[in-house]
Structure 1
Amino acid sequence: MPTARPRHYPSDTTDAEWAVLAPHVPAGTGRGRPIIYPRRDVVDAIRYLDRTGCQWDALPADFPHHKLVYHYFTAWTRDGTLNRMHNSLREQVREQVEGRNRQPTAALVDSQSVRGAETVGRGGRGYDAGKKVNGRKRHIAVDTCGLLLAVLVTGAQVQDRDAARPLLRALRACFPTISVTWADSGYAGRLVDWATAHLTLTVRIVAKLAGQTTFVLLHRRWAVERTFSWINRCRRTVRDYERLPDHHAAMVQWAMIIVMTRRLARHQPT
């Protein structure tokens, strides 16, 4: 259904962005009932919330009702629609923008601790003593272009090398073409041998330079750090407000969808 809502928020899709995104957005609810409102308005509402960090019930009145938008946010997260949308866009960016194969052959992993709001329950949060953060930690794997491949959300107390095992296992299952992964010193130790023995995956540690006390652009690691900066452009991801870890992971994916649709829209023929 075409939309009549004027597009005046910075997070709104442009016509070029919607042309890229529309083929990946389901036309129905999955239960045989047609959508009676524009899909573009639902997508723009989710993007608005992710970009601004507002509460669900604080969505502007020109969007569909916040309960309806939340329903599709959770439904698309649960049934795999969001994953398929994100992965298809990533393959398009790799091929059309970066000039690479659709499937990556190398990856980078890292983690970032974020403070948890009061909506994050005690059972789903923890304390990162190193960063002095009480909340959650997101562990991500990206390709060498910085595009997201996998994300895992845990309590902030979980060590990088412990969370890396399920993250690398999922990475290996979804991307069998990947043969090498770069990581920082937090992943050194038994994880390197485990990845080689169980996943046939080479983990290369990129350590800090001797005597390094300030920021230095390190080989390969800069790409995953840039991805964190892309994700943090969306205020909803700067702090964790989600009751479920899967919903925070979904907000991370939506942040990357904004980045990728804009890149693809700029490279479409006029």
Structure 2
Amino acid sequence: MPSRLHRAALAYAARGIPVFPCQPRGKEPATTRGLLAATTDAAAIESWWQSAPDLNIGIATGAPSGVWVLDIDNEEGEASLRNLEATHGPLPATIEVITGRGRHLYFRLGEHSLRNSVGRIGSGIDVRGDGGYVLAPPSVHPTTRLYTWSVDSAESFSDAPDWLCRLAEAAETDGKGRSLEGWHRTLTEPIHEGSRNVTLASLAGKLLCHDVNLIVVIDILHCVNIARCVPLLAAQDVDRIAVSVARTHLTRRGDRT
């Protein structure tokens, strides 16, 4: 009989939400293609979860799924959100998931094009959009806590208010990338679990856009992983991130030529 995770992955796909496998009780992708493997193909999903029934479920955010996620981390993120709502107005009820350390608020992407950002909207608040992913219920957090639907969850994805979309769009980039101050803060502070993949991928993209050799990029990512990531990513995961970003970078550059 299919596991609960297996059945849930198929159910997401049936609703048109692309999924891919992540490590059991972990957040790292369980395929070499990472979130690029996200699919609604039932045969692929059957193959993944039949071979490993306890795989966690990743949802590719942004354009693939048509949703983006506001990741509220612990009380720090909740305090930041309260301040934002006091200034701009309350958020609408939407699909909400309780995570191992906070909650995820899902919003309809609509015509927006949102990428990932970490702590830019407010301390403890991350954005997951194009190029990002989140774990979905009933995945198991590394703390062994289950990802669960909130009792306050709405029945469907809501549109985010304009003020939140503006903040998310402004947070994702400063011109062609993160400001020097933003990169300095990123590379001189700990990069915690949940932000490691996105941060290293952003750094790889930044370096590749400036024509830094891929071998050098991989070396830099390993140095940052050792110096800043808490806990460390496995070496093969760092390699995978660099190669995945490089492949996307080359594809986009080819599209422009």
Q: TM exceeds 0.5?
A: no
TM-score interval, normalised by the smaller of the two chains: under 0.3
Greater length-normalized contact order (CA 8 Å, ≥ 6 residues apart): 1
Give TM-score scaled by structure 1 length.
0.26
Higher Rg of the two aligned structures: 1
Give TM-score scaled by structure 2 length.
0.27
